[in-house]
Structure 1
Amino acid sequence: MLSQTTLQLLAASLAFTPFAAARDVPAIVRNFYNTVKGQGQCPNKLASGFYAKDNGPGNFAYCQDPKTNVLYLQGTGGALADMDIDCDGRQGGPADDGRCGKSDDTQSITSFADTVRGYKKGISDLDAKIHPYVVFGNAGDKSGFKTFDPQKHGVKPLSVMAVVCGDKLIYGIWGDENGVDGSKSMVGEASISLATACYGKSINGNNGHDQTDVLYIAFPGSEAVPGADGAAWGASNYDAFEKSIRAKGDQLIQRLAGGAGGGSPTTTAGQPKPTCTWIGHCPGDKCSNENDCDQDWVCKNGKCSA
């Protein structure tokens, strides 16, 4: 029989073992991952010349899949992205276990703090220890510094993203951008809560995942944004927040069916052309509002229409 002390320690361990929400990669996502990796490099580059490592090649690019319009990161030779650790945003919150203290470049604010504050959910910014956010896009005005704005390609701030790390699928949000932290434009970074869900608590502020095998997927369109009431922004731990965006993530990954094809996407005024990728939400399907319809289709007379 276990002693009372042992039982107490076990209970405490379970209580503080977050990240149970990571799940096996569904076939639809695994197929997309394998196709992207197998093609070696993306056939449709939106911007290139980025780095995953300071001492590595500058051949990483923001890519767009012409069949699904999703955005992702990829290098050459089958390389995807790595996962550096971001601890920006709210500091010292309820989930702070000290591991971010090892970071030497923590900022006290994330890119979309004003939007988070505007949600009026009791927080002024994202918390890297709670909110599984992806650092996506590159901003800065340094001469020769490569930049990329996902919003010009339909991706909305605080929208749900999918991350494939090893044999896990994690849902996160687009919560921050890569800044001018050094001499090169870097990609491949996520909040410490997302990284811990992927790789466990050996992760800390200065110790991430170096292998370039992580796939970050961004979904254009306003339907990818949970909004003020569509996520538990005021959650006190990762599991509670991730659970709140899971249904949205499950919905979005249906777009990946048959994706990662060659060619160039058709766009209008810089925005992705609407395509029918949601099963049951295509033109002609019944709807009660525009959120029921695929991407930029509208709900007209009770049916989804172009």
Structure 2
Amino acid sequence: MLLSLRFLILTISFLASLASARDVPSNLQNLYTKLLKQKKCKHPLASGFYSTADGPNTYSYCGDHLSDFRILYIRGRGRGRLANMDVDCDGVQGGASDDGRCSIGVSADYQSTTAFQDMVAAYNVSGVRDLNTYVHPYVVFGNEVENDNNGKDLRWNVFDPRAYLVEPLSVMAVVCDGGSKLVYGVWGDTNGDDGDKSMVGEASLALATACGGGEMSGSNGIDEEDVLYLAFVGSEAVPGKMGAKWDAGSFDEFERSIEGLGDHLIQRIPADGKASGTVRVSWGLMIWMFVALGDMCD
């Protein structure tokens, strides 16, 4: 009996590890490789951003595939330069997943709320008043001027993804760890003007940990500029109140809840850039399809 119980536990653990693993589909991998080989963005939507405080302002929100794939992303100038990943600790603190790596004081620019706190609260999910950096894999996307700091707004580069129909709290795809990992998140915050320069390349601790491991913290992110942040145009990218488990207790639980929608969205990217590609059909995608069909029948 004890042997059978031990075997059952090992089997469940093995299956859980398979469920949480996500290979980068070939169509997305091909796009990632293609972007790394390019020297620059051909159709920048906004330029002049910094990846590091002491680096060049040669980073752009790129619209090269805005019309065909209906995506936009961040990239730098030069081959191999996409974006890095600083850790954003903004939002609520606490919960079972709070291990102190993003505690107040660890991050120099901590804000008690995220940019879309009011929208999260409007979902009226019990116990959820904002995003939690330990749980929700959110991306910091877009740059705005929040205060008039002695004319800073005159020299502060800004970009609002909503101008290109990317919606707040929509699902985003993040390819990281040298192109070996795919993580789904949501657009959950923006870069404000509380620093010295208009920066790009930032995500919640939950997302950074999925990409870079447990050493990630509010003061330690991913320096390599090989992270691809993909935003999707249109309202279909928004899971809404019922399409995501906003009250999840862990990153894994939340990310699984948006996996199906993420798998659906990346099918916009064709295998060769000319014809429709195929991606792995996951349990999450099949569940999402059943839910979508059910909504259509209502």
| TM norm structure 1 | 0.78
| Aligned residue in 2 for 1:127 | 132
| Aligned residue in 1 for 2:284 | none
Kindly provide the amino acid, as one letter, of the partner of residue 90 in structure 1: V
CA distance in 2, matches of 1:63, 1:213: 15
Q: CA deviation at 1:41?
A: 1.1
Q: Percent identity?
A: 51
* Match 2:184 to one of 158, 168, 171: 171
Note if contact 1:22-1:170 (Cα within 8 Å) is conserved in structure 2. Answer: no
> Once the two structures are superposed, what CA deviation does each residue of 1:48-106 show, in whole Å capped at 9, x if it has no partner?
00000000010000001142120000001120000000010011222100001222221
Task: Report the more deviating stretch, 119-128 or 20-29.
Answer: 20-29
Q: How does 1:4-15 map to 2 (within 5 A)?
A: none
| Aligned residue in 1 for 2:99 | 97
Q: CA deviation at 1:26?
A: 1.1
Q: Which structure has more helix as a fraction of its residues?
A: 2
| Aligned residue in 1 for 2:281 | none
CA distance in 2, matches of 1:107, 1:183: 16
Describe the SS at the equivalent of 1:210: strand
Decide whether aligned partners of structure 1 residues 169 and 203 sit closer, same or farther in structure 2, where only a CA change above 3 A counts: same
Q: How does 1:1-306 map to 2 (within 5 A)?
A: 21-64=20-63, 65=65, 66-78=67-79, 79-101=81-103, 102-122=106-126, 123-140=128-145, 141=147, 142-143=152-153, 144-166=155-177, 167-258=180-271
Note if contact 1:88-1:128 (Cα within 8 Å) is conserved in structure 2. Answer: yes
Q: Which of structure 1's runs of 4+ aligned residues deviate more than 4 A? A: 17-20, 258-261, 276-279
Q: CA deviation at 1:21?
A: 2.8
Kindly provide the amino acid, as one letter, of the partner of residue 130 in structure 2: D
Decide whether aligned partners of structure 1 residues 259 and 45 sit closer, same or farther in structure 2, where only a CA change above 3 A counts: farther
Decide whether aligned partners of structure 1 residues 229 and 135 sit closer, same or farther in structure 2, where only a CA change above 3 A counts: same
Structure 2 residue runs without a partner (length 5+): 1-5, 279-291
Decide whether aligned partners of structure 1 residues 260 and 53 sit closer, same or farther in structure 2, where only a CA change above 3 A counts: farther
Note if contact 1:29-1:253 (Cα within 8 Å) is conserved in structure 2. Answer: yes
Kindly provide the amino acid, as one letter, of the partner of residue 81 in structure 1: A
| TM norm structure 2 | 0.80
Kindly provide the amino acid, as one letter, of the partner of residue 73 in structure 1: I
Decide whether aligned partners of structure 1 residues 109 and 230 sit closer, same or farther in structure 2, where only a CA change above 3 A counts: same
CA distance in 2, matches of 1:86, 1:129: 10
Describe the SS at the equivalent of 1:246: helix
Decide whether aligned partners of structure 1 residues 225 and 19 sit closer, same or farther in structure 2, where only a CA change above 3 A counts: farther
Q: CA deviation at 1:28?
A: 1.0
RMSD: 2.7
Decide whether aligned partners of structure 1 residues 277 and 185 sit closer, same or farther in structure 2, where only a CA change above 3 A counts: farther
| Aligned residue in 2 for 1:286 | none
Aligned length: 257
